[in-house]
Amino acid sequence: MPQVYDWEHTKTPPKSPTRDDIRFGIGYANDLEMDMTALMSDLLKKAGERSDLDYEQLSQKLESSTLGKQVRIIEQKYDGVELVYSKLNQIVAWRNYFIHTFKTHGKKQFGSDAEKLSQLINLLRKVIGQLTNATLKVEKEVKKTKNIKKNNVMNQVISAASRCTQYKKGRVDLARLAQAISDSIDWSKKFHLFLEENGIKTYRDEKSKVIRYVRLSDYQ
């Protein structure tokens, strides 16, 4: 097997590129492109958690789209300043050149192609970094929003519990508590699971296992 240029660990093109150098570099660029599109999908998934994006539908659309269409999708659905969309569009242009136009047959010199390929690889690395940073930023925003929502729910439930009639000293059964907050909080699953997801511990009555309750002393 011929010795080929190490594109992965360099930022500059080879001085005297061979046909095999170019072919290997195109393969490495293709690996980076797949990493980039996977990160685009991850970013949209995280962005969907903070908005009304239908991620499942978008994911299917991404998987069946060309790179150019994928870039347009993320440009339409993600408005973060971390991504420079002109760079994404440049990647599409250079990638299309090497996939659809470039041919190694009949060529003896590859200097300008190696320069363009090196620029493509470096740009892919840069955009991958931007996508990673954007995803981390959205993750932090989603976590912060969830924590705020969780704290709000907890405060409302605790306040409602303190006003409820206690079926035993210091205990409020969940049926009564659910009725007390039904007008202010919506939940789609079993009430005790909803409470526990929001940091409120529930208990089963020692004598009647049917009764679940919250203990007011946990929040005083």
pTM score: 0.76
pLDDT at 49 over 90: no
pLDDT in tens, 54-102: 777 877 888 888 899 988 888 888 877 677 788 889 999 999 999 988 8
Q: Is 53 helix (H, G, I), strand (E, B) or coil?
A: coil
pLDDT confidence bin for 187, thresholds 50/70/90: low
C-alpha span between 37 and 42 (Å, rounded): 9
C-alpha span between 118 and 10 (Å, rounded): 9
Concatenated DSSP letters for 149-198? HHHHHHHHHHHHHHHSPPSBTTEEEHHHHHHHHTTT---SS-HHHHHHHT
